[in-house]
């Protein structure tokens, strides 16, 4: 192995060499279609000869890289460092002038979005499969983001896919490996490479948004009765959390756990939900921690979870919207509008209606929020898939959401001198004003694609013939009757660029306002994953006992009816979901 100094020397002498661009012949691979969030496949698939190179060249063929500045980062998963070197070689050969790369190939997804915007880069390539497990036998992913810092729109990803189908060669230069663990500026062939600290810009960003002095004073004055635990699940957020919670907020080092990023996430599934983030759930329960939180592999998702208190992502974004004024960023800039993805509960709509904000329902996928933000019509938004964020960047932002909650709790407590308010107090206060949208999602992961297609066909047939509309279904378990009001296939016309996205999920609405959504996941790497989202609204006058019931209880009847009318178990050949959130 070459030592670092030797590598730098090699690099220095290399810059004096003529830079020949080589054209390497290749053949198209099938199935390089970016999904909801980039191309995600098993590592072994990416390791096939020219597979990764083909996709990267197809990205460059779909954009205008000449003279551009490009950001490269990711969640540090297995196969990331090799892929950074591949991108440098191919990018340089395609005319990229400057690469900004996170140290050790690490940059969280929100950090990349921030860096693209802050340094006015042309775009960025993120090496992540988000919350999917990592390691030699698990998943890898490549995602392209555009100059507003957000995921590429479908017009770009479709173009990339088209290029992958006809690619005949890719361009590359010969160059020694760039030492990714050394911060600094390097000449690299005809280009420049800047290796940057992964954390600093992001911490500065959050400090400009939140009231850190208020949070710090609240946490230090309640050090024993309001303890914080953040779990990085060995994803990318570890160093960011260490900086924010320990260095900036002054919390004890034990306030963060699993905060060393690992290429295989320690063998875990880095997804912040009640099933996969069990290290957080177990520690919170065992130690009675008042405020716990976790983030996913690439740092854009979050879960808020304290002792005896779970915040659904749908409620979380509604509560942040309700309390927006307590966050300096929104106090100063105002709230321009609110939004959620279609399957997300309507809790945030109620906040918008009460406060007179404009609000939007977009398809699943953070990219759909970007145009609204760029047009100055959207400030706070969220998705049921544990995504929460704002227009400070163009990705969802896990640690932003966690700090938002701490800011809100600190503000609420500043106005409550006699009683320490925790997560549940905020939840119950919210339900008392707005009512509660009971919400749950059932995931059926890696089921046969044919079964999933049959389920969709069954729903579409009912939609076309109207055979289910008006029918009443009574739950055997609860005796509650639900009458189908409507079935439709969700389509969206972007209010800004008027682009149309069809087939975004089948929605069944009921006479009492309840709703069930069926949708195929766009992020899986094998087989099909079916998601069923259920929502039932209860008005504030239902009383505390009803409003505070466990979600599973409040939704029991509706779930039974949804499974029956969709014949989901028959089509998928499974009895129970893989994950319930």
Which option in Zn ion, ligand G6P, none does residue 202 bind, with CB closer than 5 to 8 A by kind?
none
**Among this protein's residues, is 130 annotated catalytic?**
yes
Confirm if 516 and 475 have CB atoms less than 8 A apart.
no
List CB contacts of 233: < 8 A, sequence separation 6 or more: 258, 265, 266, 268, 270, 271, 272, 276, 277, 279, 280, 294, 295, 296, 297
Please identify, using beta-carbon distances, which residue of 300 and 494 lies nearer to Zn ion. Answer: 300
Among 224-232, 346-354, 364-372, 425-433, which window interacts with ligand G6P (CB under 6 A)? Answer: 364-372
Contact set for ligand G6P, span 518-577 (CB under 6 A): 521-523, 531
Q: How far is the CB of 397 from Zn ion (least distance, A)?
A: 10
Q: Is 395 in the site for Zn ion (CB under 5 A)?
A: no
Query: What is the edge-to-edge ordering of all strands in the sheet holding 472-474?
Result: 472-474, 481-489, 506-510, 515-520, 528-538, 436-447, 579-580
Among 32, 37, 113, 388, binds ligand G6P (CB under 6 A): 37
Please identify, using beta-carbon distances, which residue of 123 and 365 lies nearer to ligand G6P. Answer: 365
Q: Is 271 in the site for Zn ion (CB under 5 A)?
A: no
Contact set for ligand G6P, span 17-36 (CB under 6 A): 36
Per the rule left: phi > 0, alpha: psi between -120 and 50, beta: everything else, 517 is beta
Q: Is 296 in the site for Zn ion (CB under 5 A)?
A: yes
Kindly determine how many residues on this chain lie close enough to bind ligand G6P according to the rule CB under 6 A: 14
Per the rule left: phi > 0, alpha: psi between -120 and 50, beta: everything else, 387 is beta
Beta strands, E only, 448-514: 472-474, 481-489, 492-493, 500-501, 506-510
| CA–CA gap between residue 33 and residue 404 (Å, rounded) | 35
Contact set for ligand G6P, span 322-351 (CB under 6 A): 341
Q: What is the DSSP letter of 448?
A: -
Please identify, using beta-carbon distances, which residue of 443 and 535 lies nearer to Zn ion. Answer: 443
Among 300, 384, 397, 535, binds Zn ion (CB under 5 A): 300
- Residue in this structure with the two tokens 């089509």, named with its chain if needed: 571
Query: What is the edge-to-edge ordering of all strands in the sheet holding 359-362?
Result: 359-362, 338-341, 380-383, 387-390
Among 276-284, 383-391, 405-413, 482-490, which window interacts with ligand G6P (CB under 6 A)? Answer: 383-391
Q: Which of 509, 157, 490, 115 is closest to 340 using CA atoms?
A: 490
| CA–CA gap between residue 319 and residue 534 (Å, rounded) | 20
Q: How far is the CB of 460 from ligand G6P (least distance, A)?
A: 19
What's the token pair of residue 419? 């009683």
Q: Which of 138, 145, 163, 193 is closest to 8 using CA atoms?
A: 193
Among 268-276, 382-390, 459-467, 549-557, which window interacts with ligand G6P (CB under 6 A)? Answer: 382-390
Q: Single out the catalytic residue among 130, 198, 437, 525.
A: 130
Contact set for Zn ion, span 110-169 (CB under 5 A): 130
Q: Is 298 in the site for Zn ion (CB under 5 A)?
A: yes
Q: Is 397 in the site for Zn ion (CB under 5 A)?
A: no
Contact set for ligand G6P, span 126-185 (CB under 6 A): 130
Please identify, using beta-carbon distances, which residue of 128 and 191 lies nearer to ligand G6P. Answer: 128
Please identify, using beta-carbon distances, which residue of 513 and 522 lies nearer to ligand G6P. Answer: 522
Q: Is 371 in the site for ligand G6P (CB under 6 A)?
A: no
Q: How far is the CB of 270 from ligand G6P (least distance, A)?
A: 12
Among 145, 312, 345, 385, binds ligand G6P (CB under 6 A): 385
Q: How far is the CB of 196 from ligand G6P (least distance, A)?
A: 24
Confirm if 453 and 462 have CB atoms less than 8 A apart.
no
Q: Which of 115, 137, 45 is closest to 83 using CA atoms?
A: 45
DSSP character string of 170-235 = EEEE--PPP-TTS-EEEEETTEEEEEE-SSHHHHHHHHHHS-HHHHHHHHHHTTTTS-EEEE-TTS
Which option in Zn ion, ligand G6P, none does residue 298 bind, with CB closer than 5 to 8 A by kind?
Zn ion
Q: Which residues bind ligand G6P (CB under 6 A)?
A: 36-37, 130, 341, 364-366, 383, 385, 387, 521-523, 531
């Amino acid at each position: 192995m070459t030592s670092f100094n030797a590598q730098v020397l090699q690099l220095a002498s290399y810059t004096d060499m003529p830079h020949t661009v080589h054209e390497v012949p290749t053949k198209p691979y099938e199935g390089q279609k970016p999904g909801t969030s980039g191309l995600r496949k098993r590592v072994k698939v990416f390791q096939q000869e020219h597979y990764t190179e083909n996709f990267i060249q197809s990205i460059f063929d779909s954009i205008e890289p000449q003279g551009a500045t490009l950001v490269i980062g990711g969640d540090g998963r297995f196969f990331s460092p090799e892929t950074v070197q591949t991108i440098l070689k191919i990018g340089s050969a395609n005319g990229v002038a400057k690469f900004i790369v996170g140290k050790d190939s690490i940059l969280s997804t929100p950090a990349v979005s921030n860096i693209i915007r802050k340094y006015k880069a042309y775009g960025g390539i993120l090496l992540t499969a988000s919350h999917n497990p990592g390691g030699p036998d698990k998943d890898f992913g490549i995602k392209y983001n555009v100059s507003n810092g957000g995921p590429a729109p479908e017009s770009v990803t479709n173009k990339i896919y088209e290029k992958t189908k006809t690619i005949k060669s890719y361009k590359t230069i010969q160059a020694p490996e760039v030492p990714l663990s050394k911060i600094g500026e390097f000449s690299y062939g005809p280009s420049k490479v800047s290796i940057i600290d992964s954390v600093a810009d992001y911490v500065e960003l959050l400090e400009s948004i939140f009231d850190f002095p208020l949070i710090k004073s609240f946490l230090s004055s309640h050090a024993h009765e309001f303890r914080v635990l953040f779990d990085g699940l060995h994803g990318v957020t570890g160093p960011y959390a260490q900086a924010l919670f320990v260095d900036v907020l002054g919390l004890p080092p034990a306030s963060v756990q699993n905060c060393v990023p690992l290429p295989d996430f320690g063998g875990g599934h880095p997804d912040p939900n009640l099933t996969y983030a069990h290290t957080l759930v177990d520690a919170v329960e065992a130690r009675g921690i008042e405020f716990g939180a976790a983030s996913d592999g690439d740092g854009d998702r979050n879960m808020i979870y304290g002792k005896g208190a779970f915040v659904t992502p749908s409620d979380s974004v509604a509560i942040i919207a309700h309390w927006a004024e307590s966050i300096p960023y929104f106090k100063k800039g105002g709230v321009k509008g609110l939004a959620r993805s279609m399957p997300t509960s309507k809790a945030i709509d109620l906040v918008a209606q009460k406060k007179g904000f404009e609000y939007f329902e977009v398809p699943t996928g953070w990219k759909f929020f970007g145009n609204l933000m760029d047009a100055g019509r959207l400030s706070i938004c969220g998705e049921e898939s544990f995504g929460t964020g704002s227009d400070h960047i163009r990705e969802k932002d896990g640690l932003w959401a966690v700090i938002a909650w701490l800011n809100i709790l600190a503000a609420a407590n500043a106005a409550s001198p006699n009683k320490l308010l925790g997560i549940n107090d905020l939840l119950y206060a919210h339900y008392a004003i707005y009512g509660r949208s009971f919400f749950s999602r059932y995931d059926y992961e890696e089921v046969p694609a044919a079964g999933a297609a049959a389920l969709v066909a069954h729903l579409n047939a009912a939609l076309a013939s109207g055979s289910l509309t008006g029918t009443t279904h009574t739950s055997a378990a609860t005796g509650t009757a639900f009458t189908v009001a409507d079935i439709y296939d969700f389509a969206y016309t972007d209010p800004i660029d008027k682009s149309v996205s069809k087939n975004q999920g089948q929605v069944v609405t009921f006479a009492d306002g309840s709703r069930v959504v069926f949708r195929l996941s766009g992020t899986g790497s094998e087989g099909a994953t079916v998601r069923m989202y259920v929502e039932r609204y209860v008005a504030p006058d239902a009383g505390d006992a009803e409003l505070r019931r466990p979600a599973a209880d409040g939704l029991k009847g509706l779930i039974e009816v949804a499974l029956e009318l969709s014949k989901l178990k028959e089509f998928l050949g499974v009895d129970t979901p893989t994950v319930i959130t």
